[in-house]
Structure 1
């Protein structure tokens, strides 16, 4: 079977202020053969590399439930820049036919002999061996003692991920942006080559599960200081510094405020699943099964109802934390005017201060060709479809980057 190629794009930013790092030196080698450099490139003013083509196994390996071949190739990425600690990531996973996105955050170095931060990405959950999920009730009891503090479902800006099982006190806690967490988990637990509606169904299940942990304060009510763990026996696989994929990233940006609910139940449903190949789980979704249904043309809600029953619904959170202002409820495009357009223009100007490739605008509240072009260029830098129209995904991506570079968001 002929091999294929996958693509890789690397984004490098400063851990301190979120600004892009221009002129970072990037070297790529096969994991296990670090001395033979395959590609060497540098980042542009937006902290990005060109899109690189790299060898990958045949796409069929990630589409065939019976294949026991590793469906991705593994590369080591070394990033260095003056004034920053070098970062090495071994095991970046390149799948055929999709673009892998490797985000690298570099820590400023206060000495001439900078250390090297090293990360090793373990096997994908569908390929490696991981403990299966320990079953739990999908709806948590709500005590009248005031243990549950949230009266409505809110998408958090950050969650705290405990990188180990709950009682492993040596495991580190990470502050992770909610959307980044979901993209990481989905990239770790399904293959980005799968049908878009299969990806949507799995992303919805991951988000609903995560928001149940947030809403019920599941771990904090047990005395822990985190939101969720990276143990597959308890939660989902999350891997520090792993690469994500374009097909998954776009879908998370589109759906990130959604979750799954049942009638007359206020909390998001703890939607559990298993792979359906190494592990079977009656009454739960199986990932390989969801792939088969996606191949047959099932919609996301049809896939979810096939496994979880007909009384499962897609709901949208009432609030999104950490944003200056919510989406107006309609697309902003050429001809739009008003306060929301002016706010958008002002936010784009702040972002352009950190990303010099983006143009600055006259913040006049009129969405003309210059604003459309600035939005189109922003979409190109941040991996969104380049339409020049400020839709739901684009509005919240602009909000997120604005908050990141202006640091108005306090970590709560």
Structure 2
């Protein structure tokens, strides 16, 4: 433990601990949430997808303020507030039985998520030297994968016995994480100069803010194709599986566990192996892998091809997501790391707001194969644009 503390530091280890707890309970819930809402509400597919979209829509609005709030009042305070929101929302889901209650507690969950992610990323960046950040982000994702490997099997058992208990486990996990942060996580020190720069930043107009932060906002917009892909996998692909496999819940569980195991085994080695590569090369390889994986998801009607596609998808994820977060951390001024991670993370919220509903309409009209072929084309176009963007930023702002 002392060696781990020396390598990563206490704040990062607490983030690892919390990611493991919430990763397990989140993975217990994630594969079955859509089916749970569908069964409890007894409505059609589109109303359920609208409830699913309530969280990311909230995150879009809150994230715009969350980064600046993180930089002004401190990482620790924002993380505590975020975990409190998520604890209340998980407990509330246990008692909800109406579409508006589900939407309300999902909005609370969205507020917590929007506050937490930029604060956590900024805390990690503050506590980690530049050359080790990709490794830390990779370890974080691997721990999330470890939770995801354990969670779905436990989730299937709990879902078969009493589905609402999954929310109880999640509430307990958020509460334990809150206690760890409250008693053990320090607040990073901020210099007087950083405070002065923050005050000056707050006086900028919206137009000047956009121009001032154009690089990170460009990276964010060009990441939408990838997060749009994730949004379909988290929503409409689970409905598409029902048309491809007879025992689709079992298939979904096997796929989710295998994806998690692949993430655990591939994440850190791939990040370490690609650390010497230029970010342009990483973007090129990753987007090609994502596009081919989208085609794979369109046509994989056997476990073998589904898991082969998962290998390709995980390889793309391991390279792109970790290195792009490090790229953003180097672009960000020291006093605005929370804001930069908030800006960059908006692409997830945008995609998860519009993706399930738009994808659901396309799925209903044209089918799952057409949906994922369209995603493959969108990802390929996004990859070309992202390659050009990072090339330009590397020239104008060498890191």
Structures share fold, TM-score greater than 0.5? no
Taking structure 2 as the reference length, what is the TM-score of the superposition?
0.24
Higher relative contact order (CA 8 A, sep 6+): 2
Taking structure 1 as the reference length, what is the TM-score of the superposition?
0.24
| Greater helix content | 2
| Greater strand content | 1
